[in-house]
């Protein structure tokens, strides 16, 4: 995990806290309304082109990559953003939050993805800042995670082209929250696999898998839980930057957020049930092992003693001289063995 | 579990998230008041007949089956419903919720049933949308789960025929919540059976049964817990679509909802007590096995050693030549065995 | 447990949900004020005599037995009670609750008793409906649980004869809540007995007793916890049916209710501490058993091997021919045994 | 524990619920202001002298011993106290509470003391009732627990002599809460001792000590937790009996109360961490025992088998006749033993 | 831990509760604004120089060391501070809190540091009192923990020189809270190391490490949790001593505080997952040991019995006289051993 926090730095300082990868920051610009759109995509050459606001057009600046501090500084001054917005946007450890500033609203949340190869959940910090007729989105790396939304705008699907920046912000949050469901489904599938392998007492139960799944669920919960409060604030906003009709939609996202947390909690509970099951499986298996050990010991140790007894070299052991002594002893031994077996059968040990 | 969520789709899009079964969607129409009723039942031929509102009659459209997106689209436009209503109605993963829209109120909840064969709890999503003088109910499949209510209306039993659509909505919610009690009772019966078999140390304790019951209770809780908030909102509504006299009844449903959650929690606690009991049973049984093993070992291993000692072939072992050596040794062995038995008796090992 | 719930019935329907015992419903009437009283007691002959209200007298109808639906119907119509009141009063599964209706207030709660023979807590549902100058109490069976209160009224002890129906309702709730303390004390005594028998490692620890006590405490908690909210509502009522001076007393009952819940929680925590103690006792005992087994094995198995070695029949084993071979071997064996004992002593195994 | 509750008695009845000890109730009177003081101390001769209020003097009646019901009755009538005050003051099971009556305020709390001999926490119920210029304190027995405060008044230390009865009430509560810290410190010391003895695997870990400490912390928590709410109410009072400047001080006590609860919770968590540590210690020790057993068995059982093999009396066992057979076998045995040891070394079993 | 609390002392008494070290108290004075600064540093000679307020300059008195009660007394009288402020400032057990007094605001919090040598978290109590144009900070010892902030002021970095005392207070709180992240990161690193060593079943898992980490996290949580409420109060203050623009920044610190608590809780949950993993590891290892023991016993004990059988000295054992008896027996023994091995293989015991 990246741990380069900007501890001790001046508040409002723009310090990227993630790992700087080689890739360049890119800026993707889209302006649209019901009538048409214009898209510009540029690698960051140290400059950001600020397109003049056009009447009735929504301007969307999609910043991919957070490690260019100069660029961030320019964004702050161009859009007159409160310095804390950018400080929080470039802090990949930022907790999901919703803050209303004077000229714009800031939303920070986590985009989750399930890495099926490593069986881990990977998170990326996404921030949204929107004001009147413009929106800026920030994400850690160059993946085009909003491709679906952009295409929807370009193809004029849905209501988004007829609505303001607040609705686009809602669409983005909704899209990310919807994604949580597929991440949880993937984790749930793994829980179900684990359940099967434990209940079948199959031997390839990876002892670490319960722990790993727990960590995944914890990670998801930690990423989503604070969003509940954030989306709640968003859905109750009385800012004039947010259309009251949009609020109905945001309340729907709020409902989904709670549902996701419910599902995560439910998975966690199922998992801890599985852990209890696993532990009692281990105990039961130990019991079986002990029973085998005890049965064998209990049958053969007394018999061995008898054999040892008549292997002694005392000059005077009358039984040894009996013609049928050996056969009688064998008979006695069979009796002992049978009664032992009967004893264990009656205790249902096998 | 059906996992076809409409992730990434446009908000308000109608996408059925359950499994599409072969059965056709059917629409059952009932209009009634204190004076009489008219019922129509039709398979979905891709059309829905919208009956014109009649003075003082309540119109109930009972839609069974959610997978015909065209039909749903027609309902949206015919009744001028907010698109989110239908999106939520056809989403079988929808969390129980209550939302007031301008022209109607939406309630989503889960109908639970105990499948006694598989010992699982099965849930079906039921949604209710009611406005002035009309109500639309949505359910996943073709079972006539509201038969009892329909017959009550037809036979003019109870107050329902004299009341509005809000009261019918209440009756339906009340009916579903009442059903939860019988589901919980079935689970409780299983918990009691499990309790008996564990406390009798019977051997046919299914190791999975505690886990399965836990999962069932979790499922019930997850289905019901959000209903608490939903019914609470319903019972505190100040909408003019809801008669204030109906609110008293809804408050009663609210009480029942809390009681159901209480009962589920109580069952969960009893179950975790049972689990602790089971685990200590397993430990105690292991103790018993170990004691048997130890007693047999402790008695026969020293005796076998003595026998082995006098089975040695040293030329000079004076005891072997004693005329009564064998008998004396047998005596000593009996003494050792008895003192061992006494030792274990004093420790109350058997 | 009685499980005949009125599932699917029309709301407000009067259906007794308990077990119908052979006993007849009896009605006990008492009218009183500071000046005098009149008591009437009658078995239910299918009728209820409604006594006309007398100026400045309080009328108390004490209904014992809930299974006569006709009688209940008559009470509803005679006193103009909201139908939900009686539905809830005859539902023995009713959660403790407090509801204010237009003409009267309804309180439902559980009367608990400790059955010292079976070591179980038994509960009975008691409901109170009081209005202006009258009170109706409902209880499941024919026990005269309010005898103490009735005698107090007849003997003009305390303030009750000078106060209204609200004060009598308070007195009844207070009496039932006070009883909880003795039930909890009885359970606490059992917990203390269990504590002693576990800490003394006595063998007659009933493995089920922890589980049973847990269930008892759960049952108590489930009966009392909802009362907290109910009595709180009662104590904050601004209804004109309740004298403000009575509220001070109800607040005192509220305090007692919280205290009872505190005590039950505290007992539950002590019990789970006891369970942990018991489990570690079992583990420790297993450790002791294992140590005995290991010590015996570790001492005698090597010795037996040596004895077996010199019991072999090789033609050429020089040691066997040594005159003192036997004695030397015995010496070596003693040395081995002593060093083993020393080893285990140093590990403090005995 | 004393369990003589006044169950079923008339509300407001004065019934002492503790154990009546032989000692007499004593009354200690102190009147003071900035100019001087007068102290009177009297054993209870069945009478209480009510001193007439003197201008600008605070009157403090310190009642030690609660079992004289007549005296309590006289206090009720002399000071015109609400009967519930005295009922609660003499109920030693009273939950910490704060109630404002018309002419005075009532505070009930627990004075805790750590009995280092028995390692238990002992509690005493202390109640305070203060009005305009007077204060009455009630305590269970004759210890002069407020000696420090009285001396502070007599020696005119601190602000107390210049302030009202409300400030004296605050001083008393503050003093008792301060004492909680030393009780918790004593318990903490015991937890630290236990921690050391468990982490050193010393053998004198008293198996009961964790349980006993848990019970102590539970007892402390139960005594203090309700005080939080009580002191909160006290600190937010807008009664004219309490000077607004005093409120700042009471808020400080409130802070301390929360801190105490925090500390108790923290201790409880540390203790449950210790318990987990202890349980895994026990398991690890069992593992060690099992390993010793297994190593000895695994080395000697195969060797014993070989020895037994060549102790057989078959007429034709060629190996027995080999001149070096014995030495070769010894060599094989050493090889087996070494490879076993190597196997266990490689598994890090010793 | 230092335990010298001022129990029983007069409220508002200045009693240092920490350990008095030999070091002298030092006072560091800094006055600054946008135009310049003046710094004075002095060891405490029993006096404190009170610098006269200069127009538009902020005065910062940084007191290092709390054990000089006389000095504290002088500060109280010089700055007209409420006596409780200093009592709380010198109480190193003071819970993080925020109190607004008439002329100034008081913040108490803990500065944490991770001692990587002892693997413990060390805390120091820091208090801040700020009023109009001045701020006083209190810390336990002579470390210059605010060096970074002082340099920032001197070098005119950031906004701080242009703002009031409220902003400096914010900067200090922000700095301390930021430090929590690095402490948590250090603990997280240790948790990750532990995770690795447990999951690799490495033998050098320190049995105490889980317990120690738990204690560390508890300590951190206890230090930070109350800060949440304190910073919340701070961020919602409507005092005229705090500029409304500063509030936005304080809300940001509030967010960080919640995030820290989230992280600590998350670590605690991961740790308890690790503990479960460790316990099941121990159980699984025991299972393996038991299996080895059982396999060896099950193979060799029956064989030894057979060998013992033919080592008996009966005069008439026909098998012994068979020419190939020995070889046949060896064959039978091999068969028995193989079938045992097959049995255990089929149970997947090795």
In whole angstroms, give the CA distance from residue E234 to residue E229.
Answer: 9
Whether the per-residue pLDDT at A193 is higher than 80: the answer is: yes
Residue B75 has a pLDDT of 85
CB spacing of A7 vs E251 below 8 angstroms? no
Nearest CB among C7, C10, C297 relative to B179 is that of C7
pLDDT bin (cut points 50, 70, 90) of residue E12 is low
Q: Which two tokens stand for residue A154?
A: 């370009």
pLDDT bin (cut points 50, 70, 90) of residue E4 is very low
Residue A3 has a pLDDT of 44
Residue D22 has a pLDDT of 61
Residue indicated by tokens 């009755």: D73
Whether the per-residue pLDDT at B267 is higher than 80: the answer is: yes
Q: Which residue of C has its CA nearest to D325?
A: C314
Tens digits of residue pLDDT in D299-342: 999 999 999 999 998 888 888 888 888 999 999 999 999 999 99
Rama region for B65: left / alpha / beta (φ>0; ψ in -120 to 50; rest):
left
Residue E3 has a pLDDT of 44
- Is C62 or D52 the better-scoring residue by pLDDT? C62
B83-100: buried (b, 16+ CB within 10 Å) or exposed (e) per residue? bbbbbbbbbbbbbbbbbe
Nearest CB among E13, E211, E282 relative to D287 is that of E282
Q: Which residue of E has its CA nearest to D252?
A: E84
Tens digits of residue pLDDT in E208-226: 888 889 999 999 999 999 9
CB spacing of E207 vs D277 below 8 angstroms? yes
Residue indicated by tokens 């449950």: D272
Domains of chain B (ranges, CATH numbers): 26-280 (3.30.460.20), 285-346 (1.20.58)
CB spacing of E259 vs A95 below 8 angstroms? yes
Residue C203 has a pLDDT of 62
Average pLDDT value for residue range B18-33: 79
Q: Minimum mean pLDDT among A73-82, B56-65, B203-212, C299-308: which range?
A: B203-212
**d(CA E326, nearest CA chain D) in Å:** 6
- Chains touching C (at least 3 CB pairs under 8 A) are B, D
**d(CA D142, nearest CA chain C) in Å:** 27
Average pLDDT value for residue range D253-282: 90
Give, in degrees to the nearest 5, the angle at Cα D134 between D130 and D136: 55
**d(CA C317, nearest CA chain D) in Å:** 6
Average pLDDT value for residue range B313-331: 89
Of B309, A172, C6, E128, nearest to D307 by C-alpha is B309
pLDDT bin (cut points 50, 70, 90) of residue D176 is very high
- Chains touching A (at least 3 CB pairs under 8 A) are B, E
CB spacing of C211 vs B273 below 8 angstroms? yes
Contact in structure between A84 and A100 (CB atoms under 8 Å): no
Tens digits of residue pLDDT in E93-135: 888 999 998 889 999 999 999 988 888 899 999 999 999 899 9
- Is B215 or B350 the better-scoring residue by pLDDT? B215
Residue B85 has a pLDDT of 87
Centroid of chain to Cα C278: 22
Collapsed DSSP state (helix, strand, coil) of residue D43 = strand
CA dihedral of B92, B94, B96, B101, whole degrees rounded to 10: -110
Nearest CB among C188, C314, C349 relative to D326 is that of C314
Percent of chain B with pLDDT over 70: 93
Angle between the C209-235 and C244-309 helix axes, to the nearest 10 degrees?
160
Of C106, C97, C169, nearest to C133 by C-alpha is C169
Whether the per-residue pLDDT at E6 is higher than 60: the answer is: no
Tens digits of residue pLDDT in B235-261: 999 898 999 889 989 998 999 999 999
Q: Which residue of A has its CA nearest to E260?
A: A95
- Is B199 or D243 the better-scoring residue by pLDDT? D243
Whether the per-residue pLDDT at C17 is higher than 50: the answer is: yes
Whether the per-residue pLDDT at B1 is higher than 70: the answer is: no
Residue B21 has a pLDDT of 62
Percent of chain B with pLDDT over 90: 39
Whether the per-residue pLDDT at E242 is higher than 70: the answer is: yes
Nearest CB among E158, E182, E273 relative to A7 is that of E182
Which of C96, C194, C202, C289 should we substitute to test contact with B (largest number of B Cβ atoms within 10 Å)?
A: C289
Contacts of D89 (CB under 8 A, 6+ apart): D66, D72, D106, D108, D127, D129, D138
Whether the per-residue pLDDT at C1 is higher than 50: the answer is: no
Whether the per-residue pLDDT at A106 is higher than 50: the answer is: yes
Q: Distances from the Cα of D285 to the Cαs of A235, C288, C347, D282, E206, in angstroms? A: 57, 11, 11, 5, 14
What is the average pLDDT value for chain C, to the nearest integer?
86
- Work out how many CB contacts closer than 8 A connect A with B: 157
What is the average pLDDT value for chain B, to the nearest integer?
86
Residue B20 has a pLDDT of 64
Q: Distances from the Cα of D336 to the Cαs of A190, D329, D330, D340, E162, in angstroms? A: 45, 10, 10, 6, 84
Residues in chain B closer than 8 A to C304 (CB atoms): 301, 304-305, 308
Q: Which residue of A has its CA nearest to E157?
A: A10
CB spacing of A259 vs B296 below 8 angstroms? no
Residue E349 has a pLDDT of 76
Residue D3 has a pLDDT of 44
Tens digits of residue pLDDT in D42-65: 766 667 778 888 878 999 999 988
pLDDT bin (cut points 50, 70, 90) of residue D202 is low
Radius of gyration of chain B measured on its C-alpha atoms: 34
Residue C97 has a pLDDT of 92
- Is A32 or E44 the better-scoring residue by pLDDT? A32
Q: Which two tokens stand for residue B201?
A: 């140390």
Q: Which residue of E has its CA nearest to A320?
A: E314
Residue A145 has a pLDDT of 87
Collapsed DSSP state (helix, strand, coil) of residue E317 = coil
Nearest CB among B225, B311, B324 relative to A312 is that of B311
Average pLDDT value for residue range D158-169: 87
CB spacing of A82 vs E293 below 8 angstroms? no
pLDDT bin (cut points 50, 70, 90) of residue B79 is confident
CB spacing of B296 vs A274 below 8 angstroms? no
- Work out how many CB contacts closer than 8 A connect C with D: 156
What is the average pLDDT value for chain E, to the nearest integer?
86
Tens digits of residue pLDDT in B27-65: 889 999 888 888 887 766 667 778 888 878 999 999 988
Whether the per-residue pLDDT at D6 is higher than 60: the answer is: no
Give, in degrees to the nearest 5, the angle at Cα D212 between D207 and D215: 145
Which of D246, D284, D307, D312 should we substitute to test contact with E (largest number of E Cβ atoms within 10 Å)?
A: D312
Of E311, D340, A329, B329, nearest to C308 by C-alpha is E311
Tens digits of residue pLDDT in E317-344: 888 888 888 999 999 999 999 999 999 8
pLDDT bin (cut points 50, 70, 90) of residue B4 is very low
**d(CA B153, nearest CA chain C) in Å:** 11
Query: What count of other Cβ atoms lies within 10 Å of the Cβ of residue E22?
Result: 4
CB spacing of E5 vs D259 below 8 angstroms? no
CB spacing of A12 vs E159 below 8 angstroms? yes
Mean pLDDT: which of B330-334, C18-22, E150-154 is highest? B330-334
Q: Residue C222: enclosing H or E segment and its boundaries?
A: helix C209-235
Residue A12 has a pLDDT of 66
Tens digits of residue pLDDT in A249-292: 999 899 999 999 999 999 999 998 888 888 888 888 888 888 88
**E strand spans, chain B:** 26-32, 37-43, 58-64, 97-100, 105-115, 120-130, 134-139
Query: What count of other Cβ atoms lies within 10 Å of the Cβ of residue C28?
Result: 17
Residue E44 has a pLDDT of 62
Whether the per-residue pLDDT at D1 is higher than 60: the answer is: no
Residue B265 has a pLDDT of 92
Nearest CB among E84, E88, E307 relative to D309 is that of E307
């Amino acid at each position: 995990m990246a741990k380069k926090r900007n501890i001790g730095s001046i508040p409002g300082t723009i310090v990227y806290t993630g790992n700087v990868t080689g890739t360049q920051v890119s800026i993707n610009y889209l302006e649209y309304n019901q009538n048409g759109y214009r898209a510009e995509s540029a690698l960051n050459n140290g400059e950001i082109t600020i397109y003049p606001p056009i009447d009735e057009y929504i301007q969307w600046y999609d910043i991919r990559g957070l490690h260019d501090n100069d660029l961030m500084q320019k964004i702050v001054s161009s859009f007159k953003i409160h310095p804390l917005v950018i400080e929080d946007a470039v802090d990949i450890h930022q907790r999901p939050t919703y803050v209303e500033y004077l000229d714009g609203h800031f939303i920070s949340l986590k985009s989750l993805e399930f890495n099926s190869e490593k069986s881990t959940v990977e998170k990326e910090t996404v921030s949204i800042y929107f004001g009147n007729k413009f929106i800026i989105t920030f994400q850690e790396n160059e993946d085009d995670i909003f491709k679906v939304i952009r295409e929807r705008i370009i193809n004029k699907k849905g209501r988004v082209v007829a609505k303001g920046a607040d609705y686009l912000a809602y669409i983005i949050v909704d899209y990310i929250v919807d994604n949580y469901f597929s991440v949880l489904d993937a984790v749930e599938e793994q829980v179900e696999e684990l359940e099967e392998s434990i209940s079948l007492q199959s031997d390839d139960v990876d002892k670490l898998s319960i722990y790993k799944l727990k960590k995944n669920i914890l990670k998801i919960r930690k990423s989503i839980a604070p969003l509940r409060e954030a989306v709640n604030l968003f859905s109750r906003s009385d800012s004039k930057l947010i259309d009251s009709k949009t609020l109905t939609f945001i309340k729907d996202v709020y409902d989904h957020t709670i549902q996701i947390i419910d599902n995560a909690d439910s998975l966690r509970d199922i998992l801890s049930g599985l852990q209890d099951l696993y532990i009692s499986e281990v105990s039961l298996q130990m019991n079986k092992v002990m029973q085998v050990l005890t049965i064998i010991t209990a049958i053969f140790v007394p018999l061995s003693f008898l054999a040892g007894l008549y292997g002694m070299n005392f000059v005077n052991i009358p039984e040894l001289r009996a013609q049928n002594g050996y056969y009688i002893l064998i008979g006695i031994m069979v009796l002992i063995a049978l009664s032992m077996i009967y004893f264990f059968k009656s205790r249902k040990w096998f």
